[in-house]
A and B are shown apart, each in its own frame.
Chain A
Amino acid sequence: MKHVCSSLPLASGGSQEYVKHFLLSVMIIISAVIANNVNAEKLGYPEKEELKFGFIKLTDMAPIAIAYENGYFEDEGLYVTIEAQANWKVLLDGVIDGQLDGAHMLAGQPIAATMGFGTKAHIITPFSMDLNGNGITVSNEIWAQMKPNIPKMDDGRPVHPIKAGALKPVVEKYKDEGKPFNMGMVFPVSTHNYELRYWLAAGGIHPGYYAPHKGDISGQIDADALLSVTPPPQMPATLEAGTIYGYCVGEPWNQQAVFKGIGVPVITDYEIWKNNPEKVFGITAEFAEKYPNTTIRIVRALIRAAMWLDENDNANRPAAVKILSQSNYVGADYDVIANSMTGTFEYEKGDKREVPDFNVFFRYNATYPYYSDAIWYLTQMRRWGQISEDKSDDWYKDMAAKVYKPDIYAKAALSLIEEGLADAKDFPDFATEDGFKDPQTEFIDGITFDGTKPNDYIDMFPIGLKSGDKV
């Protein structure tokens, strides 16, 4: 299976057609082999049965909680302990040093770790955990200043999506008064950091560059808005304390701000980039190599959990919310979690709107680890200077293939299909899937993302580093 990944960079970056063709043929062969394997021998018993997974208190950890509570892990012969972690760094370190066998991770974390931005370790992901699920919230004080800049609908409610242009005059006012405009995100390589930056930059607010080659990892070079790290569950308290004016975080911490009356969510990430890939399930490459059956079985359990979460038009969501509201999982009140998990999202208090796809766990192939998803994160790392130098398109693809492991996913899915636990039509066609989504257009700034051409994509942004730029 490994040779798929290693043969990727062999394809020359210049000839797109060739790459596609090459990949396609390899994929077909591989898939056939997998299918044969599945038919030939049953998936073996797990090599490691007692596992410990880490998570951060966010609703998108749901697949792990559901796989546990619904007994999917046990069905695989896995005895899993699930443990909340203090913050993303502690969680990543836990996986790297083996205290945790796997964890609910930010998509950027396995990529950055493998690349060596921050702690260097080869982390892989065989499973994407969800689409969307984040939001950007500003404090009441900032909202009051933003509101006049936002067009209104007939009923007086603001028109969504709200662009950062409405925030720009506020940031400028603070800048003129010499007050730093602080905002919170959860981790330097978090989806939230890139989404917040994307939104700010699309509205003309510079979120600042990183310069790791100069030892500057604060990400505040040339910044209009100063972004800093706060662990998700502490976001509301930090906002309430006035340390930050706004933040980008996953649920339930945006809805919590509404319930506590301390802030107003202005936009969801669904509106920044429709159906954007969010968390992933991360394990070390060493773990996957040492315990191949265990790895496949984990993915099987997680796929089943994701299916259950989206089943019958989110019919199981209330039950899921009940589980998540337990103190050992997310622990927020049922109502707070339900607000977003059951297909709605409350902006200003009382302004509750339908967002049926706010949390997607399975449909739209949400759990399949697409190479193109990894590449989008890599482009954002390059855009904001976390990758300080130009890289070839091949490099992007190579890196994506090093971290994202659709092959493991395919094995797990095919075995589930084989056993009748899943339906083949709910998955990508493993025989033809090349791991690249078609060019995606639904971004807030209208820029199209084609995962096969990362360098072209980077050059399209008005704010951000382009080919040849170095901070």
Chain B
Amino acid sequence: MKAATSLTTKLNMTGMSPKMSGLIAGSLQNLVIPLAGIVFFLAFWSVAASNINTSLGKFPGPNAVWTQLNSLYVEHNEERTKEQAFYERQKKRNAERVAQDPDYVPKIRSYTGKETFLDQIVTSLLTVMSGFLLAAVIAIPLGIAIGLSKTLNTAFNPVIQIFKPVSPLAWLPLVTMVVSALYATPDPVIPKSFLNSMITVTLCCLWPMVINTSVGVASINSDLVNVSRVLRLPALKHIQKIVLPASIPMIFTGMRTSLGIAWMVLIAAEMLAQNPGLGKFVWDEFQNGSSDSLGRIMAAVVVIGAIGFFLDRSMLQIQKFVSWDKTSASR
């Protein structure tokens, strides 16, 4: 703060208009203060880290995390090189086989090597987004129906209230068993583990979205409903023109809450079920117990946090774009 003011005084002295320097002071405040916060945190983190000894060595500080992030990136690139070689070998082998066995229809099989950290990030993001979208497709229409109909609301409310507080992780074993039972194709296009994680995410996204949507719908200004009645809008048009736009702020609140929970739950589910993704990465590293493990886990923690933040901001941007009520998206 002090630095910012003294800087602006300096700038003022160099003959800048007060308006200009005010602008700069504003952006300095927006930049410098958060930066100072981050620097302070990093300093605190490194000091604290160097004072915590575990049986796997010192707790990783910012330096160790940075090193690990780099090495994870290097590993990723190495793996891509190996992947290249894999495909070339396969092509050659296919060609040889076709030469010997003309009936053979060559097939390119996807790379069998390990999933790198970056791959795991992509997997987790895909899982959370598909689970989230599936939940939205179910929850928003359901929420609208419940919000519109008192009868439905009374019927569903106890069910929702009971399932809402259940940690989705409790569902995980059931989901796993049901998916195994119902999805019994020999060569599944979508891996079962992906389905398990995705459905778990869906289950945890469902309730906040249903509740927020139905509350949003039920609390529409009665005057707006009367407008619709006077105009004799048919049911679908009523939903499209009045209900949906009016409840969009609440729907988005529900969606943002859901996505935040979903991201947290997904990581835990991946750890628990060993389904591919960032959670599995963390658990594998914990099990490896190598001298790099803690650094890698910490790197994953930072990345998980950053992605969670990024997801929330993205939802906010979408909400700002979609919703008429700009103030509701300012949190």
Does A77 contact B291, Cβ atoms closer than 8 Å?
Answer: no
Chain B CB within 8 A of A433 CB: no
The answer to whether A99 touches B289 (Cβ under 8 A) is no
Task: Determine the chain A residues whose CB is within 8 A of the CB of B291 once the complex forms.
Answer: 333
Cross-interface CB contact of B290 among A74, A240, A325, cutoff 8 Å: A325
Residue of A nearest to B291 (CB): A333
Q: Tell me if B109 and A331 are in contact (CB < 8 A).
A: no
| Contact of A327 with B180 at beta-carbon distance under 8 Å, contacts A79-B109, A240-B55 already known | no
Which residues of chain B (53-75) have a CB below 8 Å from chain A?
55-56
Pick from A71, A80, A233: contact of B289, CB below 8 A.
A233
Residues of B within 8 A of A326 (CB): 114
Within B243-267, the residues touching A (CB, 8 Å) are none
Contact bitstring B283-306, A, C-beta under 8 A = 1, else 0: 111111111110010000000000
Specify which of B114, B289, B293 lies most central, judged by the most chain A CB atoms within 10 Å of its CB. B289
B94: nearest chain-A partner, CB-CB: A77
A81–B186 alpha-carbon span in the complex (Å): 16
Q: B72-92 CB contact bits vs A (8 Å, 1 = yes)? A: 000000000000000001100
Residues on B with beta carbons closer than 8 Å to the beta carbon of A240: 55
Cα-based distance from A68 to B89 in the complex (angstroms):
14
Number of chain B interface residues as a range: 20 to 34
Q: Is the interface of A mostly helix, strand, loop or mixed?
A: loop
Which residue from B101, B114, B288 sits with its C-beta under 8 Å from A45? B101
Chain B 92-127 per-residue mask, 1 if CB under 8 angstroms from chain A, else 0: 010001000100100101001011000000000000
Determine the chain B residues whose CB is within 8 A of the CB of A261 once the complex forms.
55
Chain B, residue nearest A54 (CB): B274
User: 1/0 per residue A345-373: CB within 8 Å of B?
Assistant: 00000000000000000000000000000
A223 interfacial contact with B, CB 8 Å: no
Does B320 make an interface contact (CB < 8 A)? no
CB of B110 to closest CB in A, whole Å:
8
Question: CA–CA, A68 to B114, complex, Å?
Answer: 11
Does B164 lie at the interface of the complex (its beta carbon under 8 Å from any beta carbon of A)?
no
Taking a contact as CB atoms under 8 Å apart, the answer to whether B288 and A330 are in contact is yes
Known A-B contacts A79-B109, A86-B274, A328-B114; the reply to A233 vs B288 at CB < 8 A is: yes
**Is the beta-carbon distance between A57 and B288 smaller than 8 angstroms?**
yes
Type the 1/0 row for B225-245, where 1 means its CB is closer than 8 Å to any CB of A. 000000000000000000000
Question: In the complex, what distance in Å separates the CA atom of A97 from the CA atom of B178?
Answer: 13
Residue of chain B at shortest CB distance from A328: B114
Q: Return chain A residues, CB-CB under 8 Å to B114.
A: 326-328
Is A11 engaged at the interface, CB distance under 8 Å to the other chain?
no
Residues of the A chain whose Cβ atoms lie less than 8 Å from the Cβ of B285: 327, 331
Nearest-neighbour CB distance to chain B for A335, whole angstroms, equals 9
Interface membership of A50, Cβ < 8 A = yes
Q: Is the CB of A256 within 8 A of B289?
A: yes
Contact: B93 with A77, CB < 8 Å?
yes
User: How many Å lie between the Cα of A85 and that of B280 in the bound state?
Assistant: 10
* Residue A236 is within 8 A (CB to CB) of chain B in the complex: yes
Is A234 part of the binding interface, using a Cβ–Cβ cutoff of 8 Å? yes
Complex formed: what's the CA distance from A231 to B283 in Å? 13
A408 smallest CB distance to B (angstroms): 22
**Which residues of A lie under 8 Å from residue B274 when comparing CB positions?**
84-86, 90
- Bitwise, A58-93 to B at CB < 8 A (1) or not (0) is 000000000010010010010111101110001000
CA distance A79 to B55 in the complex (A): 38
Instruction: List chain A residues, Cβ under 8 A from B273.
Output: 86
- Chain A residues with CB below 8 A from B90, complex form: 74, 79
Cβ–Cβ contact B112 & A260, under 8 A: no
Q: Which residues of B contact A112 (CB under 8 A)?
A: none
Q: Are the CB atoms of A260 and B290 closer together than 8 Å? A: no
Given A325-B290, A327-B290, also A84-B284 (CB < 8 A) = yes
Per-position 1/0 for A80-114, Cβ under 8 A of B? 11101110001000000111000000000000000
Q: Are A332 and B56 in contact (CB under 8 A)?
A: no
**Residues of B contacting A336 in the complex (Cβ-Cβ under 8 angstroms):** 290
- Nearest chain B CB to A99 CB, angstrom units: 6
CB atoms of A234 and B287 under 8 A apart: yes
Instruction: Identify which of residues 249-276 in chain A touch chain B, using a CB-to-CB cut-off of 8 Å.
Output: 256, 260-262
Contact code string B178-192 (vs A, CB < 8 Å = 1, else 0)? 001000001000001
Tell me, yes or no, whether A49 is within 8 Å of chain B by CB: yes
Of the candidates B186, B284, B296, the one whose C-beta lies within 8 Å of that of A98 is B186
Interface 1/0 per residue, B26-50 and A, CB below 8 Å = 0000000000000000000000000
Which residues of B have CB within 8 Å of A97?
180
Complex CA distance for A56 and B220, rounded to whole angstroms: 56
Determine how close the nearest CB of chain A comes to the CB of B89; give it in whole angstroms: 6
B93 / chain A contacts, CB cutoff of 8 Å: 74, 77
Chain B residues with CB under 8 Å of A231's CB are 287
Task: Knowing A45-B101, A74-B89, A98-B186 are in contact, say whether A260-B284 is a contact too (CB < 8 A).
Answer: no
Most A CB atoms within 10 A — which of B55, B56, B109? B55
Contact indicator B284/A236 (Cβ below 8 Å): no
Asked if B55 and A331 make an inter-chain contact with CB atoms under 8 angstroms apart, the answer reads no
A82 surroundings in chain B (CB, below 8 A): 112
A68 to chain B: closest residue by CB: B112
Residue numbers in B under 8 Å from A86 (CB-CB): 273-274, 283
Give the shortest distance, in Å, between A250 (CB) and chain B (any CB).
Answer: 13
Closest to B193 in A: A99
- What are 5 contact pairs spanning A and B, CB under 8 A? A49-B109, A77-B97, A233-B287, A332-B288, A333-B290
Q: A-contacting residues of B (Cβ < 8 Å)?
A: 55-56, 89-90, 93, 97, 101, 104, 107, 109, 112, 114-115, 180, 186, 192-193, 273-274, 283-293, 296
- Further pairs besides A233-B287, A327-B288, A331-B284: 16, Cβ < 8 Å: A45-B101, A71-B89, A79-B90, A79-B109, A80-B112, A82-B112, A86-B273, A86-B274, A86-B283, A98-B186, A233-B289, A236-B289, A256-B289, A260-B56, A327-B114, A327-B284
Q: Which 9 A-B pairs have the closest CB atoms?
A: A331-B288, A233-B287, A328-B114, A260-B55, A81-B112, A86-B274, A79-B109, A333-B290, A333-B291
Which A residues form the contact surface with B (CB < 8 A)? Answer: 45, 49-50, 57, 68, 71, 74, 77, 79-82, 84-86, 90, 97-99, 231, 233-234, 236-237, 240, 256, 260-262, 325-328, 330-333, 336
